Amino acid sequence: MIDYEVSDGIAFIRLNRPEKLNAFTNAGLTEYVAALDRLDRDDSALIGVVSGAGRAFSSGSDIDQRLLAIADEGVDSRSLPSEHQAILRCSNWKPLIAAVHGYAIGHALGTALLCELVVAAPDARFQVTETLYGVPTASFWAHIAGSTGAAFANDVVLTGRFFTAEEAFRAGLITRVSSSGQHLEEAVALARRVLAHPQAALRETVRYRRAVLAERLQHAGIVAGNFKWDMTDGFKDAIRARAGR
C-alpha cells in the first residue's frame, strides 16, 4: 500500500490503495510505519512528503478490517498499528509535509495533522468520523484545539461534519490551500524551501513541536479516562450499519 522514493533529499511517501480511497488496513499502517522508520534512518532523505494516489489522500481506517474486528471480534483497539510512535518518538526529527486532496477523514485526518506542514487542494474535505461511530475524540479535540482554539474544535469534533480546506486554513489547522491540482507540487516547493536552511536547528524545532504534541495527546488520553467505547452498543451498531451488516 505504501510507496517510498527519494529524490533530491525529499522522501516521497505515497499511500497507494486508490481502489479503496487509500483506506488504512492493519498491513497498510504497518507499511506506513516502516516507511516513516526508513525516512528516519535514510541519510539520503532530509524531509518527507506524504500524499495519496488516486482520488483522495485517504478515507481513514478500513471499516471491514480494522473497525469491524473491534466491533465483532473484540479486538483491543490499543493493539492495532498506529504511526504515532514512529513520528512522536523518532530519532532524527525530519520534517513531514502532508499533500492532501479529496478526503482526509478519520484516522487519515490524524495522519495529516501529525505532519509539521499540511498543503491541501481546494477540493480537500476533512472529517472527524470517530464522532459518527461512537469513538471518543479527546485526542482529536486536543490536537485541533491546540492549533485553532476551542470554538473550531468544538464545532468539527462534536458535530462530526465535513469541513473544507479553506475553513481549515482560516482556522489555522493547515498551512496553505494550493491551486487546483497543484497540492503535491506546492508541497514539494515548500519542502525545498525548508531544505534551503541549515537542518540541525530545524530538526530541533521539529523535535520540540512533536514533544509538545505528544504531551498534549498523552494528557488528553489520561483525562479521557477508561471509557470502554469498543464495548458500547452505539459503536457496534454504527460500525455494522456503515459496513452494511
List the one residue out of 220, 230, 24, 16 whose CA is nearest residue 108: 24
Cα 77 to Cα 67, 68, 80, distances in angstroms:
9, 11, 6
Give me the pLDDT at residue 77, please: 65
SS3 of residue 179 by DSSP: coil
Percent of the chain topping pLDDT 70: 96
Instruction: List phi, psi (to 5°) of 127.
Output: -165, 140
Give me the pLDDT at residue 161, please: 98
Give me the pLDDT at residue 225, please: 72
* Structural domain spans, the chain: 2-242
Looking at CATH, the fold of the domain delimited by 2-242 is given as 2-enoyl-CoA Hydratase; Chain A, domain 1 (3.90.226)
Give me the pLDDT at residue 20, please: 95
Give me the pLDDT at residue 79, please: 63
Give me the pLDDT at residue 228, please: 78
Q: From CA 41, how far away is CA 92, in angstroms rounded?
A: 8
Nearest 5°: the CA angle 198, 201, 207 is 135
**Continuous segment of H or E residues that includes residue 15:** strand 10-15
| pLDDT < 50 positions in the chain | none
Give me the pLDDT at residue 224, please: 75
Three cell numbers, residue 192: 525545498
Give me the pLDDT at residue 234, please: 86
Three cell numbers, residue 96: 513531514
- What pTM, to 2 d.p., does this model score? 0.94
Q: Which residues are the active-site residues? A: 130
